[in-house]
Structure 1
């Protein structure tokens, strides 16, 4: 038996030497990248998934606006070779630690492109830039730069992956414009729980209204709710939409308030029937990649408003 073990070990060592790669080198861990969200997890895997290991802080389906970092999350961030995050206060309760440890993929955005005007005429930074596919491409380029700095030996592959992914995003943009444009203008209104679709609204000419502000951490006033109900009734909007990271009961209350004014509106909600705004779907479900998520949202909107 001992002789057999020695022979197997010898063969294993010989195979290692024949390959020309020392066993210790082949077993070496890949550089680690820690990202905050499912969006960045998907992006990084597209760009450099073969050359790095990726760890995600905020699980798919959870709300980044409200996520409280745990001690193990901080440890992941501190031990990573590279940290990538959205910025623009999207990861609201993690901002300070992320600014000290990571790279914001939104850091090079034009400040004139990331604001939204509130009801009082003040400009607020809107973190949901991924609904503007031009900005999402800029974020992709910034992520690629950081990844190339981390693994410069794979610069050419990452650059090629980046260009391929950007082409997919440009094709997606054309598809979305065509589909949203097919909704009759009198029916082209999007009502969501919180104000996450401003970039989408400007990009695809679909007015958006929500009772809550750009962060799910903001307060919802009775006036905001009343204004949203009036907007639905006055524009005879066919359907309003729940989001995957918010409580659908909020939209049911809007429906009840509309009914009191004599108008029936459909609430689009339930598994597989919610809009994705602040997270992709969990892996294995419809909407678990960025491109699939956008297509899911657009098809849901068109099918219920057209």
Structure 2
């Protein structure tokens, strides 16, 4: 499939070259930035939203681990003056397209900060860095550098926006620590569908378990499910959480398996009651900005585990 995508991308480039331009996607009076995800859309908007036009590839609510580029996405890439993406294998099936032409906001990360033990008992790269607010700040710095290079006349404004955003993120980090600490220690366990919250666990002292690995295209073994069920029952965890980009039926199966062992656990799911992991909320809904998304997740966790 990756070969097919690369061939398609090459064809788009050839067509664009022959025609002189690709269909107008961006505003003509501002440099064009294409980002891979809703997280980066919000990041760029905070840093340089007044100075660039932004297009996003992976729609909000879709699973980025499984997403495959479409012709319109390739046009956005072709038309862009700057392409920003996560890296760390987050974009999965689009990596072959993005890596040669884009800038990964995680490219300066210390490799020791992004490894995690996967369910297959090996070390895996975990792409979900935004759940550690300090790592997210590092990513904003790399994004700001790329944006300043794109629009150097607005360097001072972008640096000021970066500092203003940094202060908001520092306040958010303190808020999260206080709220998570309010959960009694014997109730402070987070169960999610896939292993997206390892950075959150490390930063805020809440153990996390999930039946699936760090990507949603990894296999879920019966042993992983059984181990998660045993953990829930042993720790008497009263609530487990669905995610906005995964099938909640997986958590219902955990609930049924716990009930078979004589323990009742509640699945937190439904509109406005799911954790955001791999995407922000659609525009206009709660959680459509990074800071609001973090608050939504933390409040949902605290309200149901406290």
TM over 0.5: yes
Mapped partners of 1:75, 1:109: distance in 2: 29
Structure 1 or 2, whichever has the larger Rg, is: 1
Give 1:34's aligned residue.
34
Separation in 2, partners of 1:63, 1:266: 24
Question: In the alignment, what sits opposite 1:11?
Answer: none
- Return the offset for 1:122: 2.0
Cα distance in 2 between the residues matched to 1:112 and 1:44: 26
**5 Å matches for 1:1-306?**
29-119=29-119, 121-306=121-306
Number of residue pairs matched by the alignment: 280
Say whether the 8 Å CA contact 1:189–1:207 is kept in structure 2.
Answer: yes
Tell me if the contact between 1:37 and 1:59 (Cα under 8 Å) persists in the aligned partners. yes
SS in 2 for 1:282: coil
Once the two structures are overlaid, the 10-residue window that deviates more, 173-182 or 117-126, is 117-126
* Pairwise CA RMSD: 0.9
| 8 Å CA contact 2:119, 2:213 repeated in 1 | no
Kept after mapping to 2: 8 A contact 1:42/1:290:
yes
Provide the secondary structure at the position in 1 that maps to 2:33. strand
User: What TM-score do you get using the length of structure 1 for normalisation?
Assistant: 0.90
TM-score between both structures, scaled by the size of structure 2: 0.90
| CA offset digits 1:146-168 (Å, max 9, x no partner) | 00000000000000000100110
| TM-superposition CA deviations, 1:4-50 (whole Å, max 9, x none) | xxxxxxxxxxxxxxxxxxxxxxx952000000000000000000000
- 1:71 Cα deviation after fit: 1.5
* Deviations, residues 66-95 of structure 1 (Å, cap 9, x unaligned): 101011211211220000000000000000
Summarize deviations over 1:188-213 as a string: whole Å, max 9, x none.
Answer: 00000000000000000000000000
Asked if 2 retains the 8 angstrom alpha-carbon contact of 1:78 and 1:101, the reply is no
Q: Which runs of 4 or more aligned residues in structure 1 lie more than 6 Å from their structure 2 counterparts after TM superposition?
A: none
Q: For residues 28 and 223 of structure 1, do their structure 2 counterparts lie closer, same or farther at Cα, with a shift above 3 Å needed?
A: closer
